[in-house]
Chain A
Amino acid sequence: MAITRVKESVMTPAEKGPEPELGSELIPKERYTSPEFMQLEWDKVWSKSWLLGCREEEIPEVGDYVTTEIGNESLLIVRGEDMKARVFYNVCNHRGNQVKFDKGGNSKTLQCAYHFWEYDLTGTLVNVPDEEDFTQGCPKDKLSLKEIPSGTWGGFVFFNLDQNAGPMEDFLGIVPEHLDAYHFEKMRMTMDVTIEWDCNWKTSVDAFNEVYHVQCIHPELLYDNDDVNVQIDLYERHNRYLVPFHTVSPRVDEQPEEVPPIIAYQMQAIGMDPEEFTGRVPEIRLAMQKYKRENQEQLGFDYSDLNDDQLVDDYHYYIYPNLTLNTFADRMMLFRQRPHETDPNKMYYDVKMFTMIPKGQPVPELPDHNQVKHGEISLGLVLDQDSVNLPHVQKGMNSEAYEGLWISHQERRIRHMHKTLMDDINGEHANDA
């Protein structure tokens, strides 16, 4: 059964993307299990890529700061008096103490808690107790906090550990052109959780870059998502798939005549009455698009930059190396996968939820960050289903019997990620620009 897609988009390109030659060789499992490969990734990927630091709304005022970790590094992101967000290594130049230990706060200056060396919001060392006592010379004007390249897009602050990094815009490539239409800068974060997972960071990335698993571990979603007519688009570094929502998968043998309960719930959520719907089930998706378009003002949203498919479908982006964005017309779920400091079999899975605030509604307070171990909290049925296999995948990958990933065509976003990864490892940087 075919799916109707928009012929012309508004801002976000909707047309089928290129299909680069990705080969068909086995993807070696050592990329997921080897400490040596993990070190290569640190040297060639994490130390060279533009990475997500925080949200602008986390540091709205002068002196607001947050800390974020990547590998062994802690970064301190600070809003300066000139309203610029700067990113520093979170380390005092005196004895190596971290300048800030907490996840965030507000400070007039950045004072180390050990001997009270004090840096201003631009990172300049401005006050050192007993400054005349240093035989190496007064450290002021010599030992500023080490700032690294940073930039902002869509309400996100990015950083790059490489002092010689190319422009963020080159690295993001197609991302702004594709995603500016969603106005992430107007969205607000409603959840901020980190889960410690016993798997490689790529094991987690892969889990969300294919819909092959939907029929197996998310059988209930077959009544809300078309997991067959999925458009996969592979760009230079990044990729996406477009998954039609609120339509029944062709995999369902007996197609329902009545509105499935899972879709009925989604209809009610936007104010449609499923009882009053007189069309056929395959027509619901387009009816919901039409309803949202016609009632956007009443719903409190402005969908004028989005095409009709974007009003209901999941435009699912993978931004290399470690961001996954489930984008919808008025909300977004972001995953950030971060490697463990030392162990290729562990990682940090950050889940951040964002919502567009309906016009006239109050802006919710920022959520507290919460870090837990796998299984300690539920992330809801779908994400719980996604996560339950992953520690076992990692254990299996470490088996002598396992050689590597045997990838299907519908899983080719995984192969595409590996191409970008290996281009970086081999020093063949690709740019979308």
Chain B
Amino acid sequence: MADVRQIVIDIISDIAPDEDVTNLDDKVSLREQLDLDSMDFLDIVMELRKRHKVEVPQEDYPKLATLESCVSYLSPKFA
């Protein structure tokens, strides 16, 4: 089973290298905790596709709001 939480954190720390990703609250929206905008969310989606061949259609972008929602939405795609 892939560690989806860690996969997302790895991507975030690559696209926003100045952000501190060590103490994220899984239930709070990523945007509230980090300086991420819609362009950054596009990069998260593009990296998921590039690195893991996982597709996230545009209408599902809101499902990436928190780490917890990322894990529940993405885990089936990694199964």
Q: Do A and B actually bind?
A: no
